Amino acid sequence: MPWGLCGGSSVSWSCRGCGGSLVLGHALFSLTASVTFRIGLGRSFRESDLDNESFQELFHEVEAMLGSFNASEYFPFLGWIVDRFSGRFQRLERIFHELDNFFQHVIHLHLNPERTKQKHEDIIDVLLRVEREQSEFGAAQFTKDDIMAVLMNIFLDGVDTGAITMIWAMAELAKNPRLMKKMIIKETLRLHPLVPLLIPRETMSHFKINGYDIYPKMLLQVNAWGIGRDPKYWNNPEEFILERFIKSSTDYKGQNFELLPFGAGRRGCPGMYMATTTTIELALANLLYFFDWKLPDRMKEEDINMEESVGLYCLTTNKKKTSLNLVPIKVF
């Protein structure tokens, strides 16, 4: 079985004509994993000789941990007691030990002298070269630990972000079939931002918002999900209306604060262009160009469950709670 998103996030589809069925969520996940591996490792996941099942399991465990309540972050003085007794610390240590092993293995593969004969460098080759050249000049500020941290970001953030957004886009399209031929990414990200609460920020100075005093060193969380549905900024905010963007310059690049699916500022998402151009646009364009998508017999548009499976904490990914069954009709 190929890659799978946990349970409900998948889109399953059965093919009219061939009679077989496939889980599209799995296929999309497999695609984004392969794009990320190709960018990171220079080859697709299947070619990477890594154990698919255990990587997938580890990946979802990390995701669940990042989305779960972290008492130390919210109650810095006493929270660690809760985290220690709940077993969170121990689980984190084990998971990050396994991740370290994984990244060390990947780096080890790149240190093979045979690789230097290859003309094409991938990201790890470049990072290793930066590390080597720094050492040669005696600066030695960039270490293998830094390389592992960069890889952690690429793999953890690069794999299922695109797949989840595509699943939401397909679900919205199945509900609004007249929109099948139009561009839908902005409106999908407005209604279903993957990270509903952005990365927490610490305030540097005192200021006031809506009559509230905000003091220095306070933890602030920006609710991108709430802003995207705020009737002060959006007409009929709960409705999927992609025409709202046709004559508007509003974009998701961090300049328009009413649309922040990728955050903004220094901590804004560095993977935004990779996600939108190399993954989501490419895959959605192919899915919509080669197939018309219909609902299975007897199912109506209003029967599609648009519930989100999301927690309250930052870094929780906003997945579709239940799977979506679609029937592709081949156009060509």
Residue ranges of the annotated binding site are 269
Residue 271 vs 328, nearer CB to ligand HEM: 271
Contacts 24+ apart (CB under 8 A), 281-285: 281/185, 283/28, 283/31, 283/32, 283/162, 283/166, 284/166, 284/169, 284/170, 284/184, 284/185
Q: How many residues does this entry show for the chain?
A: 332
Write down the least CB distance from residue 184 to ligand HEM, Å: 13
Under rule CB under 6 A, residue 67 binds ligand HEM = no
- Residue ranges for the known binding site for heme are 269
Q: Which stretch binds ligand HEM (CB under 6 A): 6-14, 65-73, 151-159, 240-248?
A: 151-159
Write down the least CB distance from residue 28 to ligand HEM, Å: 12
Identify the residue whose tokens are 């709670």: 321
286: tokens are 């192919």
Q: Which stretch binds ligand HEM (CB under 6 A): 115-123, 127-135, 230-238, 257-265?
A: 257-265
Q: Which stretch binds ligand HEM (CB under 6 A): 116-124, 125-133, 236-244, 255-263?
A: 255-263
Under rule CB under 6 A, residue 163 binds ligand HEM = no
Residue 165 vs 323, nearer CB to ligand HEM: 165
Question: 148 with 124: CB under 8 angstroms?
Answer: no
Residue 227 vs 327, nearer CB to ligand HEM: 227
Site string for ligand HEM, 183-202 (x = CB under 6 A): -----------xx--xx---
Kindly write down the DSSP assignment for every residue of 24-68, as one continuous string: HHHHHHHHHHHHHHHHHHSS-TGGGT--HHHHHHHHHHHHHHHHS
β-pair partners for 328: 293
Question: 2 with 30: CB under 8 angstroms?
Answer: yes
Out of 261, 283, 324, 328, the only residue in the binding site for ligand HEM (CB under 6 A) is 261
Out of 267, 285, 289, 296, the only residue in the binding site for ligand HEM (CB under 6 A) is 267
139: tokens are 């600066």
Question: 32 with 159: CB under 8 angstroms?
Answer: yes
Residues at the contact surface with ligand HEM, assessed by CB under 6 A: 153-154, 157-158, 161-162, 165, 194-195, 198-199, 261-264, 267-271, 274-275
